[in-house]
Every structure is written in C-alpha cells, then in structure tokens.
Amino acid sequence: MKNPILRMAILVLVAVSLVAGSFLSARAQETITLKIEGVSGPEVKWLNETVKPAFEAKMKAEGKNVTVEVEEFTGTGQDLRQRYTLDIGAGVGGDILSFDGFWIPDFAEAGLLKPLKTVVGEEVMQWEGWAKTPAGLQAILAYKGEIYGYPRGTDVRVIWFRKDLLKQAGLPENWQPTSWEDILAAARQIKKALPEVTPLQLNAGKAMGEASTLQGYMMALLGAGHHIYDFENQKWIVRSEAILNTLNLYKTLFAEGLSEPRFQLTQDGRDQSFLAFKEGRVAMLVEGDFFWRSVLVPGGTNPASMADRNEKVAFAKMPAMMPGKGFNGQDFVTISGGTGYVINPNTKHAKEAWALMQVMFSKESFEALQALQPRIRPRTDVPVTGDAVMSALAADVLPLTTVRPALPTYSKVSEQVQLMTEAIVTGDKTPEQAMEDYATAVEGIVGKENTVDLK
Amino acid sequence: MNRTPILSRPVGLVFISPATLFILAFLIYPFISIVLLSFTNQGIGPMYGPNTRFVGLQNYAELLNFSRWMNRGQLGWSLWITAQFVVGSALIGQAALGLSIALLFQRRKGFLRELVFTLAITAWIMPDVVVAFAWFAFLDPFRGTLNNILGGLGLGRPDWVLDHPLLSIVIFNTWRGTAFSMLLFSSALASIPPSFMEAAEVSGAGAWRKFRDITLPLLRGHIATDLILVTLWTFNTFTPYLITGGGPASKTLLVSIYTYETALQFNEFGKGSAVSVIVMLINLILALVYLFSIRTRRAAV
C-alpha cells in the first residue's frame, strides 16, 4: 500500500468502525437502573446485600444489565408522603416506592398511582406469591379491588412498658390491665413512686400526624366501643359517648400529669418520647410493634435503640374501657396498619421493576429479611421466627385486629382527629366542644349524609 | 439640542426582550397560575387534573369566614401571630437594635466594633438550615447550650420552644437579621458630614438634640427603606418552621407556615393558593404604605 490516500482512507474507516462498534455494543449492553425510594431501617441492608445481588445476577442470566439503587429515607411519614405527592404529580420519582397502605385511596383517586395490572400488565396476577398471601394482607396496598403494590408486613398496637420501672412502683412484671381504670391506677402508682417518670404516653396532637390517630386516639376509641367509621352502614361516627369517653381519658391523663404535653406538642415529640422510654423517663407507651423491632431493637440505628431491650421491656394488650365494652364486644383491642412497596406509574422500566418486586417478595428474600427483623410477614410460608415477643403478638394480638377505612377522605378526617386531641392536650376546649368541632369539620369533609351520631 | 437615541426602537426592544421573557416566565406566569388555582379545589394529583373543579370564591369565603377565622390554626390567628412576630423581631428587634448598634459605633474604630460587626454579619450570611438546626439544638430544654448556661447560673431551665415559642422565634429572627439594618444605618451615619455635629456642639446641643435634629431627619429615607425591607422579609420568612414546625399547638403558625401547611401538608393546593394571594395583597399594601409615607415626607421637605 503505497498510496497515501488509500492508507488514510483505511485508517479512517478502521477508526470509524471502532468507534461505531463500541457505541453499538454499549447500546446493546445499556444498563437499566432501578431506584427504590423511601426505605428505612434494616431493609436498606437487606435490599443492598440480599436482594440487589440476587436480582442483578438473575437479570444478567437473562442477558440484561440492570442495577438496583436503594435510597434511604429517615424523615417522617408526612415528609415522605409529601415528597411522593409532588414527585409523582410532576412525572418523576423512583421506580419502586416504599408506601404506606393508608395513602393508597388518596393517591389512587387522584390518579397518582395505577393498579399493578395497568402499570405492568396482566401477567402480574400469575406470580406465585399471591396464592401464599391472605386476602386481608393483599388488601393493604389495594383500593376498590385493585392491587397497587405488595406489603412488607402488617403490625399490631399494644402498650409497651418498662418492667424495671413498674417493679419499682410495686407493679407486677407481667402487668396486664383489663380496663382503663387499671391503666390509670397503674399510672398514678408510678407517678407517686417515681415522680420524675412520665407514666403513660398515648399519642395526640397535630405534630405526630397519623401516629396520633392510629396509635393514640384509635386505640382508646376502639376500647370505648366503636370504630371511627361504621363499615356496615358506611358512615363516619362523629358524635358519641365513646368519643367523649376517649377525650375524657386524654383529659384525665394531662390534668393529673400522667402524660407529658411536650411530647404531644413539639415538633420531634414522638422521637423524644421514644428516647425518654429508653432512658427510663417514660414507663408505658402505646405503639405499634415497629417500636419493639425497629426503634428499641438492640444494635439498631435509632437513638432509642436499647441493648437491654429484652430484659427491660414487655407488652400488655390494650384493654377496653371495661371488659366486653370494646369494639365488637371485645375485652382487648388493637388496630393494624401496613406498609409495602408500589411501582411508580412514571417508571420507564415497569417490567424490570416488577421482576425486582418478585425477587424482593420471594420466600427466600423474606426469610433473609426475617433474620434481620422478625415480624408479621404477608406470606403464609414465612412465619415469625427468632423473636418470642413478635410471635406472641402474632398469636395473641393479631386475631383482635381491625383496620382503618380505605377511603380517600380518611387522611382529612384523621387530621381532624389530631386537632381534636390537640385541643384537649392544650386545654383549649372541653371534650364536648372538641367533639362538636370535630363533628362539624368531618361533616364538611365527607358530607353530612355520610356521618352518623350515636347515642 | 437634538437628542438622537443610541439605539433605534426595534433594536432596543430586542435588547430588553430576554429580561421581559424572564419576567414573564418566572414572575407573571406563576402569579397568574396561583390566582387561577385559588379559584379551584385543587388537591393532590396533577395540576388542573380530572378531579380539579372551579369553585369560585369558596376558598376565600372559607379563609375569611370571620366567625371562626381567629380560631387556633386559622388564617386570622396566623395573621395575628405574624403581626406580633413582625413587630417584635423586625421593627423592635432588627431595625431598632440595628440602629442602636450603628449609633453606638458611629465614627468609632477598634476591636469591639469589628467583633460586633463580624458576629452580626456571620449570623446574617449563614444558610437557613444550618442556623435553624443550631438554634433547635441551642434551645433544647435538656441538653441545649442556652439552658446549660442559665441552669449553671441558677436561673432555671425554661422549656423555650414549648412555653415561650413566639418569644423564641422573635429572638431567633432578631439575631438572624439585625446585621442588615446595622450595616444600612452605619453607612448612612457615615455619610452625615462631621461639620454638622461640630457646629451643633459649638451651639451647645446635647446628644439627644443632635440625634433628634440632625441624625434622625437625615436618616429618615434610610429608615423607611429599612422598615419596608425588613418588614417584608420578616412577613414572608419560613425559617422558624425549621425550629418550631409552627407549633406547639399552632402558637408560631406564621402566615408563611400556614400557607405551606395548607397546600403541602394538608394537600389543599387551591386553598393554599388563596392564602398566597391574600398574603401577596397584604405585602403590596405594606409596600404602598411605606412608599407613600416616604413620598409625603419628601414633599414636606
């Protein structure tokens, strides 16, 4: 090849084909990134160390290059919900979102979430996991018969107490009240023996958001005789003796100094109450089992993590106001929430996202998660193991449970509950006034025809 | 004299068009959009989505329902708290304190002046989140620096954010913003010719007379400017949210926080927009009052 022009031409050709070739092969090997948002606690570790490698290897075997990115979120539920509202509304956001079940009706009605069948396709119903998941648990992330996601588990609410403090106050370590009067008597006894200790924390007020409604108000109201909503007649109960009794319980707690207003009114009051429990400044605290397995858990990342949790903490079932007077005539009451994961309808990789969900919610993955954090899982083939307290909750408390009404108006009604309880804590209103204002506000939200007064 | 413009009219229009487009896109469009939204029931979901309806003046009627608007957590309540906050932290706090510091160090130099100015300016230029977090920790009743100092001196350990929430954010905002008034007034004072003061001293005028008859009249325009700016800034500030969250029990529910709460926490974007429009009108009135007062003073002089 003497001809310099020819040589040049060949060089150029080789260079171009090299560049083009690498470009094309890069196209074929294009990496899809799936982002999981809103994750907290041990699930971050689980997703990164168990799910991610398993899923990426599975995809590689199918000839796809998919990576998983996990974003930890440590803010409050309200913050997360606000972020999803704005992100999804703006057409962006992660591919898979950690989601609270009670947000579903709102988001579904607003068109911000779509059923899995719509986002992914009919094939979602062929997944083996559905057959292993009881209908009640499938319903956690469902609305009007459509499934929007899959739950990580469900929970129950009880009274957590410090065995050491109760003992110092002369109460048994296996304390189990059977009426509100028993709770108040114990609280007074603690206050007398340990004046520095706040006897009982029952959530109230706007600052704690949904935790005030679910862990505080509902736990008392169910014990006073009825639910927030009459499921049979599909009406919100806005005036009743039980609501008044519930508000009077709060009034007694704060009037007698058995509860600490600071926890109810300041911005990070819920975290303060957790920390105070750990430090022995709160004796009894009504919370979901998340408190046991995620907040107090020895070696956990929460500031309230307790190395000696198992020796010092126990639970008692929440009693009805009087035996047999609870919701459905029960002696003890509880209520469940549930959270899980949904697929963001804005995702560009719905099929891959669903493939990732299937890996996350396989029996094997759940078992790995169960080793990190034992709790009540949605799959019947993944029992609670390795934690006697969680097993006891599943066996003794879960059968008593009920859930919140899955209605888009629920969160607005819940805000009114928060304001109503706050007015009792601050002493702004009498229980009668607070209930009347609540009733008027709820009538405005859902329409008077959808409410009912009970005598 | 025949004045020929440097640029012809069309060329001039080309030159101002980027600025005009910018203003249209980032000021006029959002403004119109907010006003339109305030007549709808926009909740969560896409803007003007299928669930959004035109509701006329309903949002305004709810906000300005005078039988309940002073109730805890309502607009009137929030405006009243904002008024106290503005008077406390902007007028008495920032403007008066800033003027005092400026007068104190008028025509003085030295270490103390540098120290005070540096500290005040540092407080002014730090990012919101940083200072809010620092104050949140500073005011903590159990572990906070303030109560450790007070407790050490035997002055008790008040629960600042719970028992004195409004006072806490008034002190915070005074600390935060005094530097601006201080700088503005000290440069204004520096512009007063020293001969005025010397002449007054020769005539036997005391400190108060000099302040009243020389300093104050010469500062009038600066004071008006300062008051407009600090009032508007304080009226619209959101940083206290990071310290108190508007609580406890809505006791620090500034109107900016009320807007945020309505729109973004309770997801009532329509109603939140209506609050914004009302706030915008109040700001406009405040600005007009001040501008008018400067004009009349100038006319009087």
User: What DSSP letter does each residue of A71-94 carry, written as one string?
Assistant: EE--S-HHHHHHHHHHHHHTT---
Q: pLDDT: is B68 or A352 the higher one?
A: A352
Cα–Cα dist B167/B159, whole Å: 12
- Chain B CB contacts of A85 under 8 Å are 44, 264, 267
Burial of B151 (0-12, 13-18, 19+ CB in 10 A): middle
pLDDT of A27 > 60? The answer is no
Q: What is the pLDDT confidence band of residue A446, given thresholds at 50, 70 and 90?
A: very high
Q: Do B51 and A111 touch (CB under 8 A)?
A: yes
Average pLDDT over residues A53-82: 92
Buried b (16+ CB within 10 A) or exposed e, B123-149: bbeeeeeebbeebbebbbbeebebbee
Q: Where are the beta strands (DSSP E) in A40-174?
A: 65-72, 96-100, 142-143, 146-147, 149-154, 157-162
Dump pLDDT digits (tens) for A261-298. Answer: 999 998 889 999 999 999 999 999 999 999 999 899 99
CB atoms within 10 A of CB A399: 9
Note the pLDDT of residue B158: 87
B286: distance to nearest CA of chain A, Å? 32
Cα–Cα dist A130/A361, whole Å: 10
Average pLDDT over residues B91-113: 90
Q: How many CB pairs under 8 A join A and B?
A: 66
Average pLDDT over residues A139-166: 95
Q: pLDDT: is A73 or B292 the higher one?
A: A73
**Residue in B with minimal Cα distance to A91:** B46
Q: What is the DSSP letter of A237?
A: E
Q: List the one residue out of A149, A157, A370, A389 whose CA is nearest residue A284.
A: A157
Of A449-453, B162-166, B219-223, B268-272, least confident by mean pLDDT is B219-223
Under 8 Å between Cβ of A423 and A265:
no
Where in chain A do CATH 3.40.190.10 domains reside? 32-147+338-400, 157-336+404-453
pLDDT of A1 > 50? The answer is no
DSSP codes of every residue in A297-326: -TT-SSTT--TTHHHHEEEEPEEPSSTT-S
Dump pLDDT digits (tens) for A305-329. Answer: 999 999 999 999 999 999 999 999 9
Cα–Cα dist A121/A390, whole Å: 36
Q: List the one residue out of B120, B167, B98, B174 whose CA is nearest residue B139.
A: B167
Dump pLDDT digits (tens) for B111-135. Answer: 999 999 999 999 999 999 999 999 9
Q: Does B123 touch chain A (CB under 8 A)?
A: no
Q: Looking at the partner chain, which of B44, B47, B245 has a beta carbon nearest the beta carbon of A267?
A: B245
Amino acid occupying residue A240: S
Q: Does A422 touch chain B (CB under 8 A)?
A: yes
Copy the structure tokens of residue A231: 């499921």
Q: How many CA atoms lie within 13 A of B271 on its CB side?
A: 20
Cα–Cα dist A434/A442, whole Å: 12
Q: Do A423 and B72 touch (CB under 8 A)?
A: yes
Right CATH for A157-336+404-453 from 3.30.560.10, 3.40.190.10, 3.30.930.10, 3.90.105.10: 3.40.190.10
Under 8 Å between Cβ of A272 and A211:
no
Cα–Cα dist A383/A386, whole Å: 10
Q: Does A17 touch chain B (CB under 8 A)?
A: no
Dump pLDDT digits (tens) for A78-93. Answer: 889 999 999 998 899 9
Cα A175 to chain centroid, rounded: 27
- Chain B CB contacts of A107 under 8 Å are 44
Amino acid occupying residue B257: I
B1: distance to nearest CA of chain A, Å? 58
Q: Please report, rounded to a whole number, the percentage of residues in chain B having pLDDT higher than 90.
A: 52
Copy the structure tokens of residue A199: 């006897």
Note the pLDDT of residue B249: 85
Note the pLDDT of residue B211: 86
Mean pLDDT for chain B overall: 89
Q: Which of A262, A275, A413, A429 to mutate against chain B (most B CBs within 10 Å)?
A: A262
pLDDT of B85 > 90? The answer is yes
- Sheet bearing A96-100, strands edge to edge: A65-72, A31-39, A96-100, A338-343, A149-154
Architecture of the domain made up of A32-147+338-400: 3-Layer(aba) Sandwich (3.40)
Q: Which helix (H) or strand (E) holds A285?
A: strand A282-288
Q: A318 forms bridges with which residues in the sheet? A: A333
Cα–Cα dist B100/B111, whole Å: 18
- Chain B CB contacts of A265 under 8 Å are 162, 247-249
φ, ψ at A154 (rounded to 5°): -130, 180
Q: A69-83, A178-192, B242-256 — which one is most confidently predicted on average? A: A178-192
Copy the structure tokens of residue A95: 């591919």
Tallying the residues shown for chain A, one arrives at: 455
- Chain B CB contacts of A261 under 8 Å are 162, 248
Q: What residues of chain B, 149 to 178, have a C-beta less than 8 Å from chain A?
A: 159, 161-162
Cα–Cα dist A223/B90, whole Å: 50
Angle at B157 between CA B155 and CA B159, to 5 degrees: 140
Q: Does A363 touch chain B (CB under 8 A)?
A: no
- Bond into B248 cis (ω within 30): yes
Q: List the one residue out of B248, B242, B265 whose CA is nearest residue A207.
A: B248
Mean pLDDT for chain A overall: 92
Q: What is the pLDDT confidence band of residue B155, given thresholds at 50, 70 and 90?
A: confident
A42: distance to nearest CA of chain B, Å? 27
Cα B88 to chain centroid, rounded: 11
Q: Looking at the partner chain, which of B72, B159, B266 has a beta carbon nearest the beta carbon of A415?
A: B266
Cα–Cα dist B222/A428, whole Å: 44
Note the pLDDT of residue B255: 96
Angle at A228 between CA A141 and CA A394, to 5 degrees: 55
Q: What is the pLDDT confidence band of residue B300, given thresholds at 50, 70 and 90?
A: low
Cα–Cα dist A115/A343, whole Å: 9
Average pLDDT over residues A208-233: 95
Q: What is the DSSP letter of B248?
A: S
CB atoms within 10 A of CB A151: 24
Dump pLDDT digits (tens) for A185-196. Answer: 999 999 999 999
- Chain B CB contacts of A110 under 8 Å are 43-46, 49, 51
Dump pLDDT digits (tens) for A387-443. Answer: 999 999 999 999 999 999 999 899 999 999 999 999 999 998 999 999 999 999 999
Q: Is A71 helix (H, G, I), strand (E, B) or coil?
A: strand
Q: Do A207 and B162 touch (CB under 8 A)?
A: no
Location of structure tokens 């029992």 = A383
- Chain B CB contacts of A266 under 8 Å are 161-162, 244-245, 247-248
Note the pLDDT of residue A29: 61
Q: Does A267 touch chain B (CB under 8 A)?
A: yes
CB atoms within 10 A of CB A34: 24
- Chain B CB contacts of A106 under 8 Å are 44, 267
Spatial CB neighbours of A13, under 8 Å, sequence gap ≥ 6: none
Of A25-39, A238-252, A384-398, A425-439, least confident by mean pLDDT is A25-39
Q: What is the DSSP letter of A30?
A: P
Note the pLDDT of residue A164: 96
For the full predicted model, state whether its pTM sits above 0.95. Answer: no
Q: What is the DSSP letter of B204?
A: T
Dump pLDDT digits (tens) for A348-381. Answer: 999 999 999 999 999 999 999 999 999 999 999 9
Copy the structure tokens of residue A178: 């059977």
Average pLDDT over residues A35-54: 94
Average pLDDT over residues A103-130: 94
B145: distance to nearest CA of chain A, Å? 18
Tallying the residues shown for chain B, one arrives at: 301
Q: Do B43 and A110 touch (CB under 8 A)?
A: yes
Note the pLDDT of residue A22: 58
Cα–Cα dist A446/A433, whole Å: 20
Q: What is the pLDDT confidence band of residue A2, given thresholds at 50, 70 and 90?
A: low
Q: B95-99, B192-196, B282-286 — which one is most confidently predicted on average? A: B95-99
